[in-house]
Amino acid sequence: MTQHEHLQTDVLVIGSGGAGMYAAIEAARKGRSVILVDRSLVGRGGATVMAQMTVAVALEEGGLDHPEHHLADTLAAGRGLCDAAIARLLCEEGPARIREMDAWGVGWARENGAYKRAFAPGHDRPRCVYVDFLNTGPAVSKTLRAQLNRIPEIRRVGDLRVTALALEGGECVGASALHVASGRTASISAAATVLATGGLTRLYRRNSASANMTGDGYALALEAGAELVDMEFVQFFPIGHLAPRLVGMDPIMWDPFRYKLGGRLLNGRGEEFIHRYGARDEGRYVVTRDVATYAIVKEVAAGRGSPHGGAWLSFEHCSEAELRAAGGPVIDRLAANGIDLTRQPVEVAPIAHYHMGGVRVDAAMATRVPGLYAAGEAVGGANGANRLSGNAITEALVFGRVAGASAAARAARRRARAGRGAFRAHAAALREGRARPDFNPAAMLEALQSLMQEDVGPFRSRAGLERALDRLRALAAELPAARPAAGRPYDCALVDWLDLGAMARVGECVAAAALARCESRGAHQREDFPGMDPQWAFNQTLELEDGALRVRGAPVPA
Amino acid sequence: MSGKATLVLRRGAPGEAPREERWEVPFEPGQSVLDGLRWIRAQRDATLAIRYSCTNANTCKECMVRIDGRTAYACTARLREGEMRIEPLPNKALLRDLVTEIAPPDERLGS
């Protein structure tokens, strides 16, 4: 077995959630060879597979909706910070992608032949298609995997953790990676590279996404010279499952129940409370994610939380038949966990769910680094300061297709030409190092998650953000001396070490942007600057200058 | 309410003699075997190799191991008092400790 594997392709796609799979399919449809890599199993590990229900799309059936209405809701949810061109792309191309998924057999729920559409908070009408029961993500992933597998021009490679993007003359010419399964190093020379690495929710102790969402794509883009945007806006999903302990279910699983049955959100004293924070709940699911998160955290801080520090969610007013109709087989999975919704409320609390910020791109999904594109949650800008429910899968499919097409167009003009020299330093760095026995990277990773949760969570203050920045920088400074060397099969400590480096850098991005923004807007809430300030109606971009992070204001693209 | 499980793990890489390790793991009722394995990595020994992505949702299907002689998902099997024996899948090539080669053959890097 050789120590290093070198591959070559027209288009390299990094990450195989919905965005990455769609990008690969589209690039192959345009006649290019594709390598699709994932740090885990292909099509299993991203956020797409975790989606429980809603996919927002303005299907113009019967004239009942129009992408302009979807766009208006998306821009309103984004609190003035959306990149309108990218948001428009999401809304206008959404219907074509949803119909293509339908033709591929995804199985959107239907009633009398028409798509069933759920009403989700922030939308002006029922707009969200879904696959029952709580099966949207698995169905979307499975459908895209089936398409991928039919296309011989796409080579799929799992267990590749990309560690650096390769540059030649300022252009991205591929990527270097650790092959986790064998411990060997690898490199892929490509004419165009698409980052579809998802978000950063694993930075937080309480999160709803897979362990792969470490923000590594943001760190890779930053190192390669791309800009990030809106990094201060982390969406907390207000009603993540908190207690009793529930296994075999994603913590965001209460969302579909609320879409269908409403449910009542109550504080620790059994009182409704959302109305105290300027919104309504009243057993209907209309309160937006940022407001509900704010309300729950405030109730807990005032000593009115549920026993585990959240709120109660009650469906006790619903009959067994209603619950069964809404949840189907999920009711049995709840019973296996000892939960009977007709008899007991559950505890819920805000949980890191999605990242509005990300890699700054134009409407072709191109970054400012030639040859480098981004897609899906890795992209920043479409959702501004707060994402509308249901836009994540839609953007994964739409941005994935567009990024795949753009990457294919570049690859049609130029061949992959980077020799092994472009990657040699990365491979050498991976093979260097010596683990320090007193440094436990898994423990450090948990410590990082705790500090992010406490000081860079839904509520922020200058003191907390400065403390977080100090701790993140101290952690990053400690890493080089504790670097494990690559070479062993499935070395989890090395993977943790690589993730820690990315997470410390990306955590610094979130904290630095949050510290700079002296107001409260959408998902970014400052204790010391309550309320939205019209003077802050601009985006913030981040880039590296001589290794140091720079935060700058930038006008919202018209 | 809390208890202590004793996880007996089979560890080692291909070509090494397999070794057995015993770890006492505290747990609250309802916690999963994967919770226990992650606790060992963070609190005791980060070199323990385990594989998972979704952590709790049972969607990634990556955490399949042998628990007391039966194939099970570590994320849905629950911790309990007393000994639990955790081993890698016997019918897949071993990569390290509890991790086996479960990727489809055409999605591997190759040798």
For A185, name the nearest residue in chain B, comparing CA atoms only: B109
Mapped onto helix, strand or coil, the DSSP state of residue A461 is: coil
Which of B41, B76, B78, B97 best probes binding to A when mutated, by most A CB atoms within 10 angstroms? B41
pLDDT digits (tens, 9 = 90+) for A435-460: 788 899 999 999 999 999 999 998 99
Tell me the per-residue pLDDT of A60-85, one tens digit each, with 9 for 90 and over: 877 889 999 999 999 999 999 999 99
pLDDT in tens, A202-212: 999 988 878 89
Query: Do A41 and B30 make contact, defined as CB atoms within 8 angstroms?
Result: no
Assigned token pair, A65: 């909706």
How far apart, in Å, are the Cα atoms of A9 and each of A19, A187, A229, A373, B81?
19, 11, 29, 15, 52
CA dihedral of A281, A284, A286, A287, whole degrees rounded to 10: 30
Contacts of A350 (CB under 8 A, 6+ apart): A206, A236, A237, A238, A239, A240, A292, A293, A296, A297, A310, A457, A458
The percent of residues above 70 in pLDDT, for chain A, comes to 100
Can you tell me the distance from the alpha carbon of A75 to that of A89, in angstroms, rounded to the nearest whole number?
Answer: 12
C-beta of residue A210 within 8 angstroms of C-beta of residue A31: no
Distance from CA of B15 to the nearest CA of A (A): 12
Chain A nearest-CA residue for B47: A493
Reported confidence tier of residue B1, pLDDT bands at 50, 70, 90: low
| Helix or strand run (H / E) with residue A542 | strand A539-545
pLDDT score, position B110: 80
Tell if the CB–CB gap between A45 and B53 is shorter than 8 Å: yes
> Å from A442 to nearest chain B CA?
5
Please judge whether B109 and A211 are an interchain contact, meaning their C-beta atoms are less than 8 angstroms apart: no
Report chain A residues whose CB lies below 8 A from the CB of B74.
Answer: none
Confidence at A1, pLDDT banded by 50, 70, 90:
low
Average pLDDT, integer, range A279-306? 88
| Candidate list A88, A202, A289, A521, residue with the active-site label | A289
Contacts of A50 in chain B (CB under 8 A): 54, 57, 59
- Which residue from A83, A53, A73 is spatially nearest to A121, judged by alpha carbons? A73
pLDDT of residue A164: 98
Catalytic, A414? Answer no
- pLDDT tens-digit map of B9-64: 999 999 999 999 999 999 998 999 999 999 999 999 999 999 999 999 999 999 99
Q: Is B60 in contact with A41 (Cβ distance < 8 A)?
A: yes
**pLDDT tens, residue by residue, A393-431:** 999 999 999 999 999 999 999 998 888 889 999 999 999
Contact A40 B60 (CB under 8 A): yes
Closest to A38 measured CA to CA, from A146, A172, A145, A171: A145
> Nearest CA to CA, how far is A517 from chain B (Å)?
33
Instruction: Say if B30 is an interface residue toward chain A (CB within 8 Å).
Output: yes
